[in-house]
Structure 1
Amino acid sequence: MTSALTTTPATARRSRLRGLDGLRFLAAAVVVGYHYTGIDRDYWGRPPSAVFPTLNHVTRYGYLGVELFFVISGFVILMTAWGRPLPGFVASRVARLYPAYWVAVGLTVLLQLVWAGGRQLGWFDNAMNLTMVQEGFGIDSVQGAFWTLWVELKFYLLAALVLLVGFTPRRVLAFAILWPVLSQTFRLAGWTFLENLFIAEFAPYFGVGMLLFLIHREGGTLLRWLGVAVTGLLCVEQTVRHAPLATRGVGVEISPVACAVVVVAMIASVWLVADGPLRHLDWRWLSVVGALTYPLYLVHGQFGFAVIDTLHGRLGAYAVVALAVGLSLGIAVGLHYLVERRWHDRLRDGVLRLLGG
């Protein structure tokens, strides 16, 4: 999700894609809504479906915001990597991912010292979290939402392998279609290692995003749109198959039909802001909120849960949610302006020197 969350602020080249920044923030907002009012956690003292009997009918589907992030990531990773040498690609990703992440990990560890309801990890697990690859070693993340970062890192690795050969329209088309199809073959065959390595559960979302960028850059052809149809159908199949698991997570029924409709709508939304009627959106504030998406995603979980756990029953439920959102947004603003903007260029240049780029 993080390429969707962490793209460089809009340049002149992509100023007409400010709508993509807004879409990214919308995805983060629905994930926040899901975590605060949708998923069944103990922090409210009773199920969120009882605390928010009306709102929960919508926010219970907010986990699909992660899938939207992955579609956007597929689109954005090509936009940031096309025509760039591998060292430049690696340096740009490291510089965008790690500064805010390191500080978020540190702040979360400090929170765990004063809030008993947080994830109480040992010093080694906390230290391993600084690598961002802890999930690959079976180590818990300090914040639950960090699992998506491991998924994104594996996507970056696959994209880097294609970049080594060189991005061309034909290669991208082949990769974006064959990768999701092959990953599903591994899943059906029960080859767990390859299924995990090729990110079978989420490959279709990345693939359809890559195809939408290819159409954005090179134009639509029958084969490219057929690729969108194939990967889109795989996305629908994935979300329908996942619905029973999501039902257990939220404690109330998740409709497979509603999931399918949402997935189709979110794929369409990326096309709408890239090449459709909304492609000319050029409101600067969209890029401003888009820049806050990644830091908000990093901190909203444990910090928002701490507010809910501490204040529920003392204030009205919606007031508690507002305070949780306000705290998370406040920390996100600090991370962006005090960390990301100050350290991005320095870290990027340092990595480039290290790689000889």
Structure 2
Amino acid sequence: MTSQPTTAAPPARGSAPARVQPRPRLRGLDGLRFLAAALVLGFHYTGIGIPQWGAPPHDVFPVLNEVTRYGFLGVQLFFVISGFVIMMTAYGRTITGFAASRVARLFPAYWAAVALTVVLQLVWDGGRNPTLLDSLVNLTMLQEAWDVPNVQGAFWTLWFEMKFYLLIGVFVLVGITRRRLIAVAVLWPLVAELARATDSALLSSLLIPSYAPYFAVGMLLFLVYRDGGDLAVWLGVALTTILSMRQAYHYAGTAAEHVGADVSPAVCAAAVAALVALVWALSAGPLRHVDWRVLSTLGALTYPLYLVHGQFGFAVIDVLHDDASRWVVLALATALSVAIAAMLHYLVENRVHDRLRDGVRHGLEKTLPAR
């Protein structure tokens, strides 16, 4: 969702961070990120019970809904990939380099998405209708901390990503080594669950127990990619995968309430295990040589598509659902979202990313003049 284009340092053994090297792309993971966005888009348009169709989506799309009601698992897949890619970004880097790369990756498309959504709400009254102050707070990406409504529903995940980046930033300051990475990835979900069980509100909020296993398994899969894996790492992967399956299993009831139809806990757990296996297969397993250039193009569109698909797609559905075939409306909603995502990538991200990254890094590295 918020990960940078999926690139990685060549596999190298050892516990000390390697010197930063040019990174060959993992195009398979780029494609997998787009699949995650497609799952979420399908869930929001035809899975969850949105009012814009005028009827429950499981009545509007009875067959398709049998699949897309599980599209919420695209978020879990995003978190696994984020654990992999953010660990790859942070490993062997300074805190200034890490912070600058995250700011430049996250904010340009996000600011544009907020602005475009505010404009949309001026001409369409069927959305969230945020106040001007709500919209300004949204520009900080910290609105969840102040209980300010998100201008796009999908923005809620960014707050969890920000917490993850904070934890990784602290990790960078302490110093990332292979042993510490294994320890953090294994202990983090356990300590997070203890914080929730003991009603420690601050720690529970900081350690995000509901999603920690997904991030953690991604971190360990990065080690499998980087070092080839060993018994200790694979045991950690097994533990965090099982914990991720458990989270998905127990979330099925909540998902069923949103969908308005049955969501199988067993299917959720099995799907998470399959998605974790797919991340491994495309990074270090039998599919690691997948290198189709189109996958990187799709990967580049993933983050802006995730940001804008909600309100813009809902507006199309709301305006057209009574006047056209449901399949035509669905296609138009999807096409508009992809078109806006492409615009944000090529006209905003490509033009702003490097300058913003370099400017932030320069500002953080600047020292006070000697007196």
* Inter-partner Cα distance in structure 2 for 1:289 and 1:240: 30
> Which has the larger helix fraction?
1
* Inter-partner Cα distance in structure 2 for 1:38 and 1:219: 38
> In the alignment, residue 17 of structure 1 is paired with which amino acid?
L
* CA deviations over 1:64-106 (Å, ceiling 9, x no partner): 0000000000000011111111101100110010011001000
* CA deviations over 1:127-163 (Å, ceiling 9, x no partner): 0000001011111110000001110000000001111
If the length of structure 2 is used for normalisation, what is the TM-score?
0.93
* Inter-partner Cα distance in structure 2 for 1:259 and 1:192: 28
Paired residue for 1:173?
182
Question: Residue 292 of structure 1 aligns to a residue in which SS?
Answer: helix
Paired residue for 2:254?
245
Question: Residue 346 of structure 2 aligns to a residue in which SS?
Answer: helix
> In the alignment, residue 301 of structure 1 is paired with which amino acid?
G
* Inter-partner Cα distance in structure 1 for 2:22 and 2:84: 15
Runs (4+) of structure 1 exceeding 4 A deviation are 8-14
2:103 equivalent to 1:105: no
Paired residue for 1:2?
2
> In the alignment, residue 193 of structure 2 is paired with which amino acid?
Q
1:261-272 to 2 correspondence within 5 Å? 261-272=270-281
Q: Is the 8 A contact 2:6 2:29 kept in 1?
A: no
> In the alignment, residue 275 of structure 1 is paired with which amino acid?
A
Alignment RMSD, CA only? 1.3
Paired residue for 2:29?
20
Q: How many Å apart are 1:20 and its aligned residue?
A: 0.5
Paired residue for 1:29?
38
Q: How many Å apart are 1:8 and its aligned residue?
A: 6.2
1:186 to 185, 190, 195: 195
Q: CA 1:8–1:94 in 2, change beyond 3 Å: closer, same or farther?
A: farther
1:271-290 to 2 correspondence within 5 Å? 271-290=280-299
Question: Residue 54 of structure 1 aligns to a residue in which SS?
Answer: coil
Query: Which structure 1 segments of 5+ residues have no match?
Result: none
Q: CA 1:137–1:121 in 2, change beyond 3 Å: closer, same or farther?
A: same
Paired residue for 2:173?
164
Query: Which structure 2 segments of 5+ residues have no match?
Result: 10-20, 367-371
Q: Percent identity?
A: 60
Moved more, 211-220 or 190-199: 190-199
Paired residue for 2:102?
93
* CA deviations over 1:308-335 (Å, ceiling 9, x no partner): 0000021111110100010001001100
* Inter-partner Cα distance in structure 2 for 1:10 and 1:41: 39
Tell me the number of residue pairs that the alignment of Structure 1 and Structure 2 aligns: 355
Question: Residue 26 of structure 2 aligns to a residue in which SS?
Answer: helix
> In the alignment, residue 5 of structure 2 is paired with which amino acid?
T
If the length of structure 1 is used for normalisation, what is the TM-score?
0.97
Q: How many Å apart are 1:265 and its aligned residue?
A: 0.4
Question: Residue 24 of structure 2 aligns to a residue in which SS?
Answer: helix
Q: How many Å apart are 1:16 and its aligned residue?
A: 5.4
Q: How many Å apart are 1:14 and its aligned residue?
A: 4.4
> In the alignment, residue 344 of structure 2 is paired with which amino acid?
L
Q: Is the 8 A contact 1:78 1:213 kept in 2?
A: yes
Q: How many Å apart are 1:219 and its aligned residue?
A: 2.1
Q: How many Å apart are 1:7 and its aligned residue?
A: 3.0
